[in-house]
Structure formats: structure tokens, C-alpha cells
Amino acid sequence: MPKIPVADTGTEPPAGTDERIDKALMRLCARGGTYNHDMVAEEAGVSRRTVYRRFADQKALRAHVWQLLSPPAGMPDDRERLLGGGLYETFRNFEAKAEEMTVGMASPEGRAMRNDRKQERERSYRAMFGESVAALDAADATAALAVIQLLGSGLAWREMRDQWDLDADAMGRAATWAIKALMADLEQRGSRPLDA
């Protein structure tokens, strides 16, 4: 995953500062609500300036929280990898950060964080599954891609966990099956509308 650009630091912070800030961000995320540079500084026990040196603005702060919550590989970009075990990894990662994910999915900051990645997410899924929806009209192609993306998302993780008591591996298995079933349908469907 590419490193999110941050403000010029000028001087190096003391050893362990980045880790303290990351842990503070996760604690704030788990509490819900909004957070800002001042709150992060107070929670981490560092100066406001130190946080601003690392994150130039609120968008950069949210982008880093997104990195902390996301699987190490970041936004999926390889369909074979995603369907060959990547969804299992995604759901295991979400489960390992269950407290932060649960609150983050329901908070305004979490929504803003997800929306900040909208274009990146759309590009990724169009690149991975674009050929599978190429015969559909534009609206149906977008709808099919949206469903495919939803199946491997934090929202799907939360619902399968809270409403169905599935563990991460059961989620990975179910989501992989569902996406493969959709791909098989799309292959047979050709240009027929989704509701045909």
C-alpha cells in the first residue's frame, strides 16, 4: 500500500512517537465520534505540532486511520488474489480490529474515511471486474460492481458478524462463493439487464 503523504517533519520525532500516535488513533476510533489533531496529541501524549508534522490536515489523518484499519495489502487490486484467499485475509484483519471497526463503521468519521477512498475503491473494482461487466449497460455494470465490492467490505463484515455470528473464515468462504456465483452469472448473462 502506498504511504499516505504527510507534512514535512523538519526534524525526526523521538523514537516510538509514530507508534504512540497510531495507538492513540485506534483508541479514539474505538470510542467513536469525531477526532482531530488536538485530540490525537492529547491521547498520544505528544505535542499538537508533532501530530501536524505527521498529518497536514484532517483528510491526511483520516487516510492514516484507514490504513491502520485496512488489511496490510490495502485496497484489493488483483482479482485472482482476492478470490484465492484475499477475502479471508480481509475479514481476519477486520476481526483482529473488531472494536475499532465496529465503532468506525457507525461513526461520522468512519463514513468520511470510507468516502475519502471512493474513487480509489471504484478504480480498483472496475480494474478487477470490469471485463466481467463489460457487456452490460453502464448503470447495470456499476450496480453489479457495487454488489461485488460490498461483499468484501467492512459493512459486510459487520453484518455477517453481528447478525449471523460468522467468524472471519466463514465470512471469507461465503463472500468468495457469492462473488464467484455473480461472475458465473455475468458470464452467462451477456448484455441482458440485471433484472432479466
The per-residue pLDDT for range 104-159, each reduced to its tens digit, is 778 787 888 888 889 999 999 999 999 999 999 999 999 999 999 999 999 999 99
pTM value?
0.78
CA distance 142 to 144: 6
Helices (H) and strands (E) in the chain, counts: 12, 0
The per-residue pLDDT for range 24-82, each reduced to its tens digit, is 888 887 787 678 899 999 988 999 999 999 999 988 888 888 787 777 777 888 999 99
- Cell numbers linked to 135: 457487456
CA distance 48 to 27: 17
